Structure 1
């Protein structure tokens, strides 16, 4: 069966092929060279920044062209990788959509673990403007541990600067990597004041991965965006964020009871303007003419709750293709 049909069939069944370490172990890593349509694994599917006991923070693994590529790197990414049999020292590249901590916090752990396991130099880290500053700060935080090492007299320390190569990307960027074309667009997750100068300093990116066998678009965090719709035109698979704002605010009130009300209201405004509601996902998918939708960066009720089916109904108002709300470690 063609890989696109496999993805559609999985979505139609509201299921996919989770890889669990207890069943697959290191065998999963041995399958890194796959068909030229690649494999997309949703390592972490929870919208941040509130931690969840059932879902990890945003992160995805794209296995394609013989490369292991992280797309966003939320807290806990290293642990999620090993659940699919992939140690951190076998990563080849990381793509970051934007610099919010729920999408970047796992990079510190990955770099530190790669240091301690003597991983090869030259991990490629692609991201929006500011990514170099982020990585420089993380490397600086590793200096004490690198200097102390294992406390063995005469042991050499490692050149931290050689561990990572950073490439910053902006709107309309395009590059060739591992036999695919990767394109980026600036989305609507940020809306800086016109006179702040911040729009020139920071961008929030969505990515399109055009593999030989299929095309995958990952929205990252965004509100409704014509740029993302253009990026996603005709894609086989749209991996889209989706927020239940009312549920998110309820959780924030529960978990951060001391948050001032004006701050909470500002956050609610941000969530409604800078993220996708279920109807927004359907409208984007329908206008872009994509083949199937995978919902991730999920904030809402889980399967079995009647509200969960309401999400799918609202998406289906404008998109008649298959849709699945992904769980951690699902594969498409």
Structure 2
């Protein structure tokens, strides 16, 4: 599981920071990519990466400000033009369906794949045998959500040495045992795969927040996360302005990470008022409170 930043700026594109978009790469887990927000020119950013639009399985939109959604119609169209045929689901606040359907209709963009649009509310918005995604409302100028992506615990490793010690050689049967099946051997013995599995492997937790002031729901979503992605639009001395514009500072993000006991904090949504020469200072402000902090740049990637 890897978190890849396609755009890390705030409000408007800048030379070194495009507007918001984050790819959660689940290539090993399910051969897919989940996108979080899709600001203007996200598909242009993708051209500089190994990401294939047809691999994008789900898109989660935190809120409907333009720097988070203006790239969506173009990406949806390009995915079709480039041969994507697998279904894609977009999750977002009320209004996302009208935005997408109107954009595609007016531009006469016809998709060659099934597109599902889910207007979300708080609670569990997606669950399958691998993942659970929870959404909660944040404190922003318009309705804005944060997402908690929880990987379910995985079965333990198959204890091949134990099987071989009992005279069970490697072969197709190992796959069935790995799946926990009960199998009858050629010699008549009946064995249960669950008896040959090690301890369960704890699933990872990633929290990706939309634009927000510090709030309790942000803390709840971040609790014990392996990686927290938090906006830091302003430096610590911009707290008054951050409050006025419904955003957070570097130190507010770090304080939340510390309180929520996350393992790692990554700052994004950096205002264009801060040039490259300021980025280290922004990171150090947060690190003074929460040492395991990094400041994201466009095309940076973090393993979970």
Q: State if a TM-score over 0.5 links the two structures.
A: yes
Cα distance change of structure 1 residues 302 and 324 upon mapping to structure 2, 3 Å threshold? farther
Report the structure number with the largest CA radius of gyration.
2
Q: Any idea what the Cα deviations from partners look like across 1:161-215, whole Å, max 9, x if unmatched?
A: 9641001111223421471111111000136xxxxxxxxxxx2100111124311
Tell which deviates more after alignment, 134-143 or 287-296: 134-143
- How far, CA to CA, are the matches of 1:270 and 1:309 in structure 2? 20
DSSP-derived class of the 1:228 partner: helix
**Greater share of helix:** 1
| Aligned twin of 2:34 | 69
| Aligned twin of 1:90 | 55
Cα distance change of structure 1 residues 310 and 245 upon mapping to structure 2, 3 Å threshold? closer
| Aligned twin of 2:5 | 42
The runs of 5 or more residues in structure 1 that have no matched partner are: 1-37, 147-157, 192-202, 249-267
DSSP-derived class of the 2:147 partner: strand
Aligned pair 1:180/2:131, yes or no?
yes
- How far, CA to CA, are the matches of 1:272 and 1:285 in structure 2? 22
Aligned pair 1:274/2:246, yes or no?
yes
Alignment of 1:23-42 (within 5 A): 38-42=1-5
Q: Any idea what the Cα deviations from partners look like across 1:129-187, whole Å, max 9, x if unmatched?
A: 111111111221231xx5xxxxxxxxxxx5x4964100111122342147111111100
Aligned pair 1:142/2:107, yes or no?
yes
- How far, CA to CA, are the matches of 1:57 and 1:205 in structure 2? 17
| Aligned twin of 2:274 | 301
Instruction: Point out which structure has higher relative CO (alpha carbons under 8 A, 6+ apart).
Output: 1
DSSP-derived class of the 1:291 partner: coil
Cα distance change of structure 1 residues 270 and 296 upon mapping to structure 2, 3 Å threshold? closer
Preserved contact between residue 121 and residue 164 of structure 1 (Cα < 8 Å): no
Alignment of 1:59-208 (within 5 A): 59-64=21-26, 65-66=29-30, 67-120=32-85, 122-143=87-108, 146=109, 158=110, 160=111, 163-177=114-128, 179-190=130-141, 203-208=143-148
Aligned pair 1:287/2:238, yes or no?
no
Aligned pair 1:322/2:295, yes or no?
no
- Computed over aligned residues only, the root mean square deviation of the Cα atoms, in angstroms, reads 2.5
How many pairs align? Answer: 247
- How far, CA to CA, are the matches of 1:101 and 1:43 in structure 2? 16
DSSP-derived class of the 2:269 partner: strand
Cα distance change of structure 1 residues 245 and 283 upon mapping to structure 2, 3 Å threshold? closer
Instruction: Give 1:331's match in structure 2, choosing from 292, 296, 301.
Output: 301
Q: Any idea what the Cα deviations from partners look like across 1:200-257, whole Å, max 9, x if unmatched?
A: xxx2100111124311111121111111101111111111111127999xxxxxxxxx
Cα distance change of structure 1 residues 238 and 123 upon mapping to structure 2, 3 Å threshold? same
The runs of 5 or more residues in structure 2 that have no matched partner are: 153-202
Cα distance change of structure 1 residues 186 and 161 upon mapping to structure 2, 3 Å threshold? farther
Instruction: Give 1:211's match in structure 2, choosing from 140, 148, 151.
Output: 151
Preserved contact between residue 57 and residue 89 of structure 2 (Cα < 8 Å): yes
Instruction: Give 1:312's match in structure 2, choosing from 247, 272, 283.
Output: 283
Preserved contact between residue 127 and residue 168 of structure 1 (Cα < 8 Å): yes
Instruction: Give 1:69 deviation, angstroms.
Output: 0.9
Cα distance change of structure 1 residues 63 and 99 upon mapping to structure 2, 3 Å threshold? same
- How far, CA to CA, are the matches of 1:313 and 1:88 in structure 2? 35
Please report the TM-score for the alignment, with normalisation by the length of structure 2: 0.74
Please report the TM-score for the alignment, with normalisation by the length of structure 1: 0.68
Preserved contact between residue 182 and residue 209 of structure 1 (Cα < 8 Å): yes
Preserved contact between residue 245 and residue 272 of structure 1 (Cα < 8 Å): no
